[in-house]
Amino acid sequence: MENEIKLTKLASCAGCGAKVGAGTLTEILDKLPTLHDPRLIVGFDKSDDASVYIINDELALVQTLDFFPPIVDDPYMFGQIAATNALSDIYAMGGEPKLAMNIMCVTKQMSKDTIYAILRGGYEKAFEAGAIITGGHTIEDIEPKYGLSVSGFVHPQKVLKNSTAREGDVLILTKPLGIGILTTAAKADMVEPSVLNRVYEQMATLNKTARDIMVKYDIHSCTDITGFALIGHSYEMAQGSNLTVHLDSHSVPFIPEAYALAEMGMIPAGAYRNRDYAEQGVTVSKNVSVAMQDIMYDPQTSGGLLMAVNEKDATRLFNELKDSIEHVAIIGHVTKRGQSGIVID
């Protein structure tokens, strides 16, 4: 496989940075007809991470789909990251993934070994999550893409939505930001291999541990931070909950090397789409640097969970998460609705 074209050279964009802008999606989806079913308790009306359909009083089905072009050149790692990212949507709803199906686009330049390595990465991450890949669909395309359609289960009374935060909640984030900036800079060979290896390892880390810990506490709302960035996903939480989300820029974790690159202007196109979507609802203090704002608008691939937890449980939850997750941080709180959906200090 050494002589093959690098996977990232076969794609015009990478990872969750390939997502269509949130504003564009909202405009399109608002015009689509849809059936009403009282058993569907989460659909696309709140821009949530997955759909949830009640099967009975004890069981609800959680479904999601996520795929994207390569964000790394190593096919095995690409498969791991893409699968981890797709599985994360189930965790963000408080669920457990159980079944998955492959979604794959291959190019004529890709060898059978490369295709196998991508699939092996996905299968191994699904196995780690306790989910079974039962099949899938593969087509030829001009760009490679891979991901999963995932089904999971959750108790109907324990579903976590991105639109149900409450006044007084504390916000906890489980992975540092900066993925989009670093992978953009990597295309220009501006990132040390050791740093990239840490980035890849972070993207391939399941949110399973974070989910398993958080469901023991009084969590009111949750989402995972992916293509719409910390600000975009926080803005959706604020809008859906009709509250204001306050983010403490000094507490937001980020990969240290991303800051200098942001100052140099190594910003992915997706960050500008995120800014266009949310900026009108964001108030920023004068002491927050432009580079830090760019990090908070940076599209993440396979990012962490953002939890809105009851204030009385926040310290205990944070301490338990900290024992297992290196970069977890308390990054803000939720108040009654003010003039802005997001306030950054």
Give the angle 63-308-323 at the CA atoms, nearest 5°.
Answer: 95
Q: Is 16 a catalytic residue?
A: yes
Catalytic residue among 13, 16, 105, 222: 16
**Binding-site residue ranges for ATP:** 19, 46-48, 66, 89, 136-138
Catalytic residue numbers read 16
